Structure 1
Amino acid sequence: MDWLQIAPVILNLVELTRILRVVPMSPRQSSGDRPNHWPLQNAKARFSELVRRARSDGPQHVTVHGRDEVVVISAEAFRRLSGGETGQALIDALQSSPYRDFDIEPVRQAMPVRDVIL
């Protein structure tokens, strides 16, 4: 192929990429107009707003190439979802079990011992 035939195609591609970069997208325009979804670039550029919306509007999804990658939630929602580090939920579940009277003892077999010469 001749350079004169390829040059207009290359110039057209360069123009298209420049046009696409100039048009900014709001978080609501991205990811198929799904509310509370932010492309990664917008999330980075408007992080303060992302955090504010996570506290006021609920979980905010950050997308990469249109796919959900992470979800930003408020600290209070995170604490509620992760539970306490006390393990109280596990204790309560075990105590409310109808099988709590059963002894759960592992069957232990004698392990062979070998002589070690030091």
Structure 2
Amino acid sequence: MEWQLQDAKNQFSKVVDKARTEGPQVVTRRGQQTAVVLSIEDYNALKSGRPSFVDDLLAGPVWDDALVDAIDARPEWPRRDVTL
């Protein structure tokens, strides 16, 4: 169901109850969908099984052996002599 923002504000308890019993409730502002009110069950279902941002960063791309060998073969720092 869609709710205009003013109606959702005035009847927030009803919006929450309907989210719990009927599913997600869409809130509109000036005719544009802007927010969704979810039950905690729906929210947890969306959230479960998804990796966190940190998990995504730590997963990173898989490095093949050739790339690892090329990185290991680099000369030590500093790479060039900088004279001032």
TM-score, L = length of structure 1: 0.47
Assess, with a 3 A threshold, how the Cα gap between structure 1 residues 111 and 85 changes in structure 2: closer, same or farther: farther
**Residue 82 to residue 49, structure 1, CA distance change in 2 (3 Å):** same
DSSP 3-state at the match of 1:41: helix
CA distance in 2, matches of 1:55, 1:76: 8
Deviations 1:17-52 (A, max 9, x none): xxxxxxxxxxxxxxxxxxx11000111111111000
Q: In 1, distance between residues paired with 2:49 and 2:22?
A: 24
1:40 is aligned to 2:2: no
Q: Does 1:63 align with 2:21?
A: no
Tell me how many residue pairs correspond in the alignment: 64
**What CA distance in whole angstroms lies between the structure 2 residues aligned with 1:84 and 1:105?**
25
Q: Give every structure 1 segment of 4 or more consecutive aligned residues whose post-TM-superposition deviation is greater than 4 Å.
A: 84-87
- Identity rate, percent: 36
Deviation of the 1:112 alpha carbon: 4.8
Structure 2 matches for 1:63-102, cutoff 5 A?
63-84=28-49
SS of residue in 2 equivalent to 1:80: helix
Could you say which structure has the higher strand fraction? Answer: 2
In the alignment, structure 1 segments of 5+ residues that lack a partner are: 1-35, 88-103
1:111 and 1:79, CA in 2 relative to 1: closer, same or farther beyond 3 A? farther
